[in-house]
């Protein structure tokens, strides 16, 4: 009978890497929640997130389809102008908006909380938290007390109309103005639809990147362990659906309102300057007045929408925007949001009729 030598097992501890595995061990890179990339569970988790990202890009695809359809009926807007408008609003525009909002939020917090930096910073820190960051009853009670302060309601009001409404609509206005000027140099003819197409491109570029940030925030909790990931993936999909149904149409309609108002301002240019001498001061004053007339309604609608969301959240005892959980509160938010959107759509339709682009008329020419 042959004998087999059994190697003697070493009693020396095997060296380990920093992650706790032996140096000679073969490990696979793990996804959050300890799921490998080939795991069926990981695939199921990624599907809602992928669907959310595709959903938030759907309005962009629709705009491209509309522009392609126009080619068979009339002269479409220069596609390169639309693409660059989309890119600039979604990169430079949203970066400037974030920086401006961060600075304004701090200054407004100082103003509303009596110039106390500690109070201002504590409120700003709480506004950045989600419901998943609230871990104990003491924290909830503290947030409820903070949400009841009059200074916080003043902060919400100013932030909604100035830091959110004025900044974001102002960035759209600057982007649309610059790109329409470029379009005017490239083309000898300009139609009201060009103003609308460029404005909607700016809105979609801005809103798409903003929505991706919301989706990222909705899924960040999946890094904290197993079990939360499936719920967070579905919450990301719900966030995308809400943003596509309410957020993107709101951005698109306020941007369209900006484009139409700019067209009306150009048409009424002689009327606004009648009786005024052509001086530098009067020209500057007229420019500021025209800019305010263009931005006034979009800023008011944008500010009302954001303030409504913050106010409902504060009434539930939250600081900043926390997604409501009670069915009654969700119903109230949806009713108010749809009401505001319907009012904005009504105002927008009236302006479209003023430039000859009513819905019934536009449907006959393929818009």
Phi and psi at 37, nearest 5°, equal -65, -20
Query: At 361, is the pLDDT very low, low, confident or very high (cuts 50, 70, 90)?
Result: very low
Q: What is the pLDDT of residue 101?
A: 96
SS3 state of residue 323: coil
d(CA 243, CA 6): 66
Which residues, 6 or more positions from 340, have their beta carbon under 8 angstroms from its beta carbon?
301, 304, 305, 308
What integer pLDDT is reported at residue 81 of this predicted model?
93
What is residue 277's predicted lDDT score, i.e. its pLDDT? 52
Contact 180, 194 (CB under 8 A): yes
pLDDT at site 98 = 95
Q: Would you state the pLDDT for residue 229?
A: 55
Count how many residues are written for the chain.
Answer: 367
Asked which of 19-23, 164-168, 294-298, 328-332 is least confident by mean pLDDT, the reply is 19-23
Helix (H, G, I), strand (E, B) or coil at 90: helix
Sign of the Cα torsion 60, 62, 65, 66 reads negative
Pairing of strands 35-36, 30-31: antiparallel
For the chain, what is the mean pLDDT? 79
Can you give the pLDDT at residue 227? 44
- The predicted pLDDT at position 177 comes to 94
Report which listed range, 11-20, 59-68, 111-120, 341-350, is most confident: 341-350
Tokens of 317: 């005892």
pLDDT (0 to 100) of residue 364: 36
Per-residue confidence band for 55, with pLDDT thresholds at 50, 70 and 90: confident
- What span, in angstroms and rounded, lies between the C-alpha atoms of 113 and 232? 34
- Residue % of the chain over a pLDDT of 90: 43
SS3 of residue 30 by DSSP: strand
**Which residue is it, tokens 């019934």?**
360
Residues 76-122 have pLDDT tens digits of 788 899 999 999 999 999 999 999 999 999 999 999 998 778 889 99
Give CA–CA dist 95/97, Å, rounded. 5
The secondary structure element, H or E, covering residue 31 is: strand 30-31
Confidence of residue 274 (pLDDT cuts 50, 70, 90): low
pLDDT surpassing 80 at residue 211: yes
In the three-class reduction of DSSP (H, G, I as helix; E, B as strand; rest coil), residue 72 is classed as coil
Give residue 359's pLDDT. Answer: 53
Question: Following CA atoms 49, 202, 311, 219 in sequence, which dihedral angle do they give, to the nearest 10 degrees?
Answer: 20
pLDDT higher than 70, residue 295: yes
Say how many Å lie between the first and final Cα of the chain, rounded.
91
Give me the residue spans of the domains in the chain: 45-266+306-363
Whole-prediction pTM: 0.79
Q: Cα separation of 138 and 194, whole Å?
A: 55
Neighbour tally for 254: CB within 10 Å: 25
121-152 pLDDT per residue, tens = 999 999 888 777 787 889 999 999 999 999 99
Residue 31 has pLDDT above 90, yes or no: no
Residue 332 and residue 119: Cα distance in Å, rounded? 31
Token pair 């004998």 is found at: 3
């Amino acid at each position: 009978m042959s004998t087999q030598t059994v190697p003697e097992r070493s009693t020396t501890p095997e060296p380990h890497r920093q992650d706790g595995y032996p140096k000679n061990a073969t490990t696979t890179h793990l996804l959050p929640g300890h799921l490998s990339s080939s795991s069926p569970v990981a695939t199921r988790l990624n599907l809602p997130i992928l669907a959310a990202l595709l959903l938030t890009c759907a309005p962009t695809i629709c705009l491209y389809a509309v522009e392609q359809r126009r080619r068979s009926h009339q002269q479409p807007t220069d596609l390169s102008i639309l693409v660059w408008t989309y890119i600039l609003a979604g990169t430079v525009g949203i970066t400037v908006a974030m920086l401006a909002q961060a600075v304004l939020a701090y200054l407004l917090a100082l103003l509303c909380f009596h110039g106390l930096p500690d109070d201002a910073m504590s409120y700003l820190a709480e506004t950045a938290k989600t419901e998943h960051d609230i871990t104990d009853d003491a924290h909830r009670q503290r947030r409820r007390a903070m949400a009841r302060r009059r200074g916080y309601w003043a902060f919400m009001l100013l932030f909604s109309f100035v830091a959110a409404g004025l900044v974001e609509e102002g960035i759209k206005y600057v982007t649309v103005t610059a790109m329409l000027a470029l379009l005017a140099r490239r083309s000898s003819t300009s139609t009201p639809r060009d103003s609308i197409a460029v404005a909607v491109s700016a809105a979609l570029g801005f809103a798409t990147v903003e929505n991706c940030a919301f989706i990222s925030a909705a899924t960040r909790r999946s890094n904290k362990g197993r079990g939360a990931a499936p719920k967070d993936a579905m919450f990301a999909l719900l966030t995308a659906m809400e943003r596509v149904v309410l957020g993107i149409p709101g951005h698109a309609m306020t941007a369209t309102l900006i484009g139409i108002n700019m067209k009306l301002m150009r048409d009424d240019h002689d009327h606004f300057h009648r009786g005024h001498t052509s001086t530098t001061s009067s020209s500057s004053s007229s420019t500021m007045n025209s800019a305010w007339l263009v931005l006034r309604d979009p800023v008011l609608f944008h500010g009302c929408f954001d303030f409504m969301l913050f106010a409902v959240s504060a009434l539930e005892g939250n600081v900043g925007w926390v997604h409501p959980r009670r069915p009654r509160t969700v119903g109230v938010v949806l009713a108010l949001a749809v009401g505001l959107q319907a009012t904005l759509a009504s105002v927008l339709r009236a302006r479209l009729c003023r430039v000859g682009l009513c819905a019934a008329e536009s449907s006959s020419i393929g818009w």
